[in-house]
Amino acid sequence: MAGMGLPVVFVAVTLLLSWDTGSTVNPCCSFPCQHRGVCVRFEMDTYECDCTRTGYSGTNCTIAELWTKIREFLHPSPGFSHYILTRFKWFWDIINATFIRDSIVKLVLTVRSNLIPSPPTYNSAYGYISWEAYCNVSYYTRVLPPVPEDCPTPMGTKGKKQLPDANLIAEAFLMRETFIPDPQGSNLLFAFFAQHFTHQFFKTYGRMGRGFTSGYGHGVDLSHIYGDNLERQHKLRLFKDGKMKYQIIKGDMYPPTVLEAPVNMTYPDNIPMEKRLAVGQEVFGLLPGLMMYATIWLREHNRVCDVLKKEHPTWDDEQLFQTTRLVLIGETIKIVIEDYVQHLSGYYLKLKFDPELLFGVQFQYRNRIAVEFNQLYHWHSLMPDKFNIMEHEYSYSNFVYNTSVLLDHGVEALVESFSKQIAGKIGGGKNIHPRLIKVAVGVIEESRKLRLQSFNEYKKRFGMKPYKSFQDLTGEVNTASQLELMYGDIDALEFYPGLMLEKPQPNSMFGESMTEIGAPFSLKGLMGNPICSPEYWKPSTFGGNIGFNIVKTASIQKLVCRNLKRCPYVAFRVPDTDSKDITSPGKEAPDEL
């Protein structure tokens, strides 16, 4: 029996399906194996469903075992969970003040993380378990195997034999007509944080082929600060007191130029060398918002070096550098969970970064970035029509590759301005600026090269009910009828368009699938970091209690305000007009630890 750990494999002979050539269709093209069962083809027209440890048995893994029935009966739907977690603030205020909070957060972390296969399973080259898919970290991994190459349609057996033009899909359903603000009040400080944070592990490397990544790290390693290889890191380091290279402009610290730190950076030819700032991630010169965060983290690194140097005067440059990097990794994870994900979720349950919550459960401290996570995280709808910096207004043409915006206005001005400018709504469609629509086209085209399974297959994989119609997906008629005309079948809808066009949850920036698929990847990647393991999570790893406390008390406000001369309003949502949280311009930054 499957519950006893022995494979439950059933053989079924499928009907012979005719294609234009009269050939037999690969039976796995119809994705007959349900509930994470694995389809294995034998003869031309026979297959087996391996239902091992799925909680199901039967020919297609559809017969639920007793404990599965009980679990499914007790498990709330994603919609119901979202409803409860985003309402009844008075109730969650009580829960957050008790030990029950830790139990719920632990449950959230384990349930979400268990949805991600660890060790990894498939990649772009292998749609079956293989050693190469496991050990070759040059590939993104993937949760579902590719659609078999010999299927009658691009999505298996459903839909039309040719997918609609990617440009047509993007322009008809995703391109902005009128800016739609995010109903959760997300601001540009949030938008640029999302972009800067994910660029440390989303590094698609098309020159090697499909599904490759250029980075050696598959998680939070801060390679966007330190570089993704030792040579780049050394060019950015000062090799004194553990610090990174920097320059002083108008009394403030900024990244060095490429003349002082000769690393490869992506800038147009017309940008003067003295305006080309050098940081860990080569594309950060693209947007002042990305370079703003790079500057803040540079200052934080050198600040923490000073704290550790004072505490450990005998430490050499290397130990100061390496320990500071671990402190900043810890700060990053704390900020992402308790500030960034907290805002993203809209939950009244107060999330908590406490690795010790998982010490008593089975957990693997390793992560691999999946291509589905990379696809999902293209949130270019967040970008506005224009950028407002104090009294200045910048169009895309004047904003892109303009480091002078940062150097002339200063970090304080950018933080204050980005905090107060609302970002766009991600889900629901028609909100990507025309200047950025080519990115969405590229995502759709890449998913086709990688032969990603349909949106509904991913909904089933992550425990959601598949949609029965396009109107069920979008919640309205016009878009639904156009989609049906183009795709022919809801089971043929592609992954990325499905995520972007799904009807958003009430007062949310996107639909349930973005949360239910994205959250497991995010939480597994964060809590699977080595610093969260029992071997690492202790004061000595971070230079003693002083470094450990920097990690455990980190927040986006502290990160920013400890590295500015004055502390502006700092949050991931725009301030309410009657908010009492807006910091006065002259308020001092919090005391340093």
* Alpha-carbon gap, residue 301 to 559, rounded angstroms: 11
Catalytic one of 377, 401, 467, 569: 377
Report d(CA 427, CA 378) in Å as an integer.
11
Residue type, 5: G
**115 phi, psi to nearest 5 deg:** -75, -15
CA angle 193, 358, 201 (to 5 degrees): 30
Beta bridge partners of 247: 254
Structure tokens at 326: 């671990």
Q: Is 348 a catalytic residue?
A: no
82, 196, 199, 380: which one is catalytic? Answer: 199
Cα Rg of the chain, angstroms: 25
Give me the torsion for CA of 455, 461, 465, 470, rounded to 10°.
10
377 annotated active-site: yes
Which residue type sits at 495? Answer: F
Strand blocks (E) in 19-121: 38-41, 46-50, 56-57, 63-64
Tell me the C-alpha distance between 145 and 135, whole Å.
17
Do 39 and 32 contact (CB within 8 A), yes or no? yes
The DSSP bridge pattern shows strands 387-389 and 392-394 to be antiparallel
Nearest to 323 by CA among 546, 118, 523: 546
User: Which pTM value belongs to this model?
Assistant: 0.90
- Is the separation of the CB atoms in 460 and 203 below 8 Å? no
Buried b (16+ CB within 10 A) or exposed e, 267-303: beeebeeebbbbbbbbebbbbbbbbbbbbbbbbbbbb
List the pLDDT tens digit at each of the 593 positions of the chain.
333 333 333 333 333 333 344 468 899 999 999 999 999 999 888 999 999 999 999 999 999 999 999 988 888 888 888 889 989 999 999 999 999 999 999 999 998 988 999 888 998 888 999 998 888 888 889 999 999 999 999 999 999 999 999 999 999 999 999 999 999 999 999 999 999 999 888 776 555 556 667 666 678 999 999 998 999 999 999 999 999 999 999 999 999 999 999 999 999 999 999 999 999 999 999 999 999 999 999 999 999 999 999 999 999 999 999 999 999 999 999 999 999 999 999 999 999 999 999 998 888 888 888 899 999 999 999 999 999 999 899 999 999 999 999 999 999 999 999 999 999 999 999 999 999 999 999 999 999 999 999 999 999 999 999 999 999 999 999 999 999 999 999 999 999 999 999 999 988 999 999 999 999 999 999 999 999 999 999 999 999 999 999 999 999 999 999 999 999 999 999 998 644 444 433 343 443 33
CA angle (147, 153, 158) in 5-degree steps: 90
- In terms of Cα–Cα distance, which of 374, 83, 99 is closest to 210? 374
Query: What is the DSSP code string of 118-153?
Result: SS--EESS-SS--HHHHH-TTB-EESSPPPPTT-SB
Do the Cβ atoms of 386 and 541 come closer than 8 Å? no
The two structure tokens encoding residue 330 = 């810890």
